[in-house]
Every structure is written in C-alpha cells, then in structure tokens.
Amino acid sequence: MHLLLALLGAVLSSLMVSSEVQPQADFNVQAMAGKWYLIGIATDAQWFVSHRASMKMGTAMITPTADGDLEMSYSSLSPNGSLHPHTEARFNDLVHFDLRMVDVKYDEYALIHSIKTKGKESYVVNKLYGRGVDLSAEVQEKFIQFSLQSSIQPENIVILPKNGTFTSEMFYLK
C-alpha cells in the first residue's frame, strides 16, 4: 500500500510540475520546418534507464501540415550501427501526449516538454533539439536546469553523443 501511495504521489507531482510549464508565446509552426538534431533527452520513464547508456544523437525532419499540426520523421542509429526508426509516438486513442514547445530559437534550438500517458502510466519527456549537432554550453545548461525543475533525476538527463548518417521513418506530432 505504501508503494502505491508513493507511486501515486510521484505521478501527481510530475503532472503538477508539467501543468506549470508554459508553452512559448507566439509559437511559429512554419519556422519549425526542416532538419533538427536530438541533442538531449531527459525522462523519468522506466524504458530510459536501461537504454540511456547506448543512446546516440538522432535526427528529425519537421514539416508543418495545412491544418496547423507538425509531421515529424525521426531516426537514430543503434549501437551496432543499424538504422533504428522511431515509430512509437503515433497519436491514437490509447496514448495521450501533452506536448509543449517551451523555448524555441528557430535557427538554433528547441526545448520541448511532453507528458505521455498510456493507460495508467504517465511520464515526462524533455527533449533538446538543435539545428546543428553542436549547441552552446549555455543552451545545454538551460535544458539541464529545466529538466531538473521538471522533477527528473540528474542521472536521467543526457546530452547525447554524436552519431553517423541518418534516414527517417514517419510519425506525427499534433
């Protein structure tokens, strides 16, 4: 019973922190278009703990749609060098995403905060994207501090090592 109460408290705490996260004012969907590199990731999700040591930088291609949504194709290379397209983030009735563009400098970086809820499981994912593979220490520190404020443990905040050449598989952000 104590474990259940502690888990419930952690979920509610992360949701309260996330509800305080404000999206960037005057967000420009069109300015997000183009290629982005996944520079950093921070999450309290269980899958991350076993994979964080082997993760590397990936790429994303973002295309605005006519109805104001964003299409995003994303992929990375696995530790053995094979292509690993990411398709798990398709939106449907079983998975709910609360996605917020927190801080975007369209020609440099994008700090994105999301809450993924599937069934009774909910977790926070913060991502730092860059237009190039290198971002300033100041921007990286902004990402780290934001993630700590989102109640993510320091060991679950990662600046990803660079990777090789990428291709993409499609999934959608709405």
Parse the chain into domains and list their residue ranges: 2-173
pLDDT for 78 equals: 55
Taking only the tens place, the pLDDT of each residue in 145-164 is 999 999 999 999 999 988 75
Whose CA is closest to 29, among 62, 59, 2?
62
pLDDT of 119 above 50: yes
Tokens of 94: 């079983």
pTM: 0.74
d(CA 35, CA 72): 10
Length of the chain, in residues: 174
pLDDT bracket for residue 112 (50, 70, 90): very high
CATH assignment of 2-173, given 2.40.128.20, 1.20.120.610, 3.20.20.150, 2.60.120.310?
2.40.128.20
* Burial (CB count <10 Å: 0-12, 13-18, 19+), residue 10: middle
Tokens of 9: 């408290």
The lowest-confidence range among 64-78, 81-95, 112-126, 131-145 is: 81-95
